[in-house]
């Protein structure tokens, strides 16, 4: 059954605020982001690899102010203060129940880098356009159509 009234043009639809939602593996840690991503990245640095347990981390950077962990999630949020090579602090955030890597807050840059795998509808999110720490990239990794590549990101 279709209703014609649903097909009426509505100029307001495009103006709804964007929202992106995500969660950890067990589902107890959920969050949303209330603006569009600023950048889609891959990082091969050793800390990102340890954090995710993978050969690289794929992340989407959003303005830090757009991050909204759900009220129910607050009991499960765990943070580890990581320090970059240049001495800047990053807050690696994971679920205290299942251990999933969820996002990294980067207060000095005013962004949060959200682990791509936790976001809903990943196939609709922008493909990575920037890669960092290529000097740590393993030979077999072949990510196509990256816009900008950096050997390091100190
Ligand atoms: Zn969890
Ligand atoms: Zn990294």
User: Is position 114 within any domain?
Assistant: yes
Determine the distance separating the centroid of ligand 2 and the alpha carbon of 113, expressed in angstroms. Answer: 10
**Taking ligand 1, which is a single-atom ion, which protein residues have CB atoms under 5 Å away?**
24, 26, 28-29, 95, 97-98
State what percent of residues in the chain have pLDDT above 70. 88
pTM of this prediction? Answer: 0.84
The helix, strand and coil proportions of the chain, stated in percent and rounded to the nearest 5, come to: 20, 35, 45
**Taking ligand 2, which is a single-atom ion, which protein residues have CB atoms under 5 Å away?**
43, 45, 48
Asked whether residue 2 carries a pLDDT value surpassing 50, the answer given is: no
Q: What is the CATH number of the domain that holds 34?
A: 2.170.150.70
User: Is position 9 within any domain?
Assistant: no
Determine the distance separating the centroid of ligand 2 and the alpha carbon of 57, expressed in angstroms. Answer: 7
Counting ligands in written order, the one closest to the CA of 42 is: 2
Q: Which domain holds residue 33?
A: 17-138
Determine the distance separating the centroid of ligand 2 and the alpha carbon of 131, expressed in angstroms. Answer: 9
Query: What phi-psi label fits residue 149: left (phi over 0), alpha (psi between -120 and 50 degrees) or beta?
Result: beta
Give the span between the Cα atoms of 145 and 45, in whole angstroms.
20
User: Is position 143 within any domain?
Assistant: no
CB count within 10 Å of CB 138 equals 9
Could you tell me which of 133, 104, 108 has the C-alpha nearest to residue 116? Answer: 104
Which positions ≥6 away from 90 have C-beta within 8 Å? 47, 81, 82, 83, 84, 104, 105, 106
Determine the distance separating the centroid of ligand 2 and the alpha carbon of 18, expressed in angstroms. Answer: 27
User: Is position 46 within any domain?
Assistant: yes
Count of structural domains, the chain: 1
Determine the distance separating the centroid of ligand 2 and the alpha carbon of 130, expressed in angstroms. Answer: 12
Cα–Cα distances in angstroms (integers) from residue 98 to residues 5, 77, 78, 122, in the given order? 44, 11, 11, 21
User: Is position 152 within any domain?
Assistant: no
Asked whether residue 1 carries a pLDDT value surpassing 50, the answer given is: no
Which positions ≥6 away from 19 have C-beta within 8 Å? 32, 33, 34
pLDDT digits (tens, 9 = 90+) for 49-99: 999 999 999 999 999 999 999 999 999 999 999 998 778 899 999 999 999
User: Is position 134 within any domain?
Assistant: yes
Structure-token pair, residue 112? 């949060």
User: Is position 108 within any domain?
Assistant: yes
User: Is position 89 within any domain?
Assistant: yes
């Amino acid at each position: 059954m279709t209703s014609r009234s649903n097909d009426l043009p509505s100029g307001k639809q495009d103006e709804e605020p964007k929202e992106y939602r995500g969660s950890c593996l067990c589902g107890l840690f959920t969050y949303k982001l209330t603006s569009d991503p600023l950048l889609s990245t891959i990082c091969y640095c050793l800390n990102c690899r340890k954090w995710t347990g993978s050969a690289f981390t794929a992340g989407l950077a959003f303005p830090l102010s757009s991050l909204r962990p759900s009220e129910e999630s607050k009991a499960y949020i765990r943070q580890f203060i990581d320090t970059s090579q240049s001495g800047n602090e990053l807050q690696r955030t994971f679920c205290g129940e299942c251990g999933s890597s969820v996002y990294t807050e980067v207060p000095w840059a005013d962004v949060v880098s959200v682990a791509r795998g936790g976001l809903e509808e990943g196939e609709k999110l922008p493909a990575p356009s920037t890669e960092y720490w290529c000097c740590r990239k393993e030979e077999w990794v072949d990510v196509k159509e990256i816009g900008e590549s950096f050997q390091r990101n100190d």
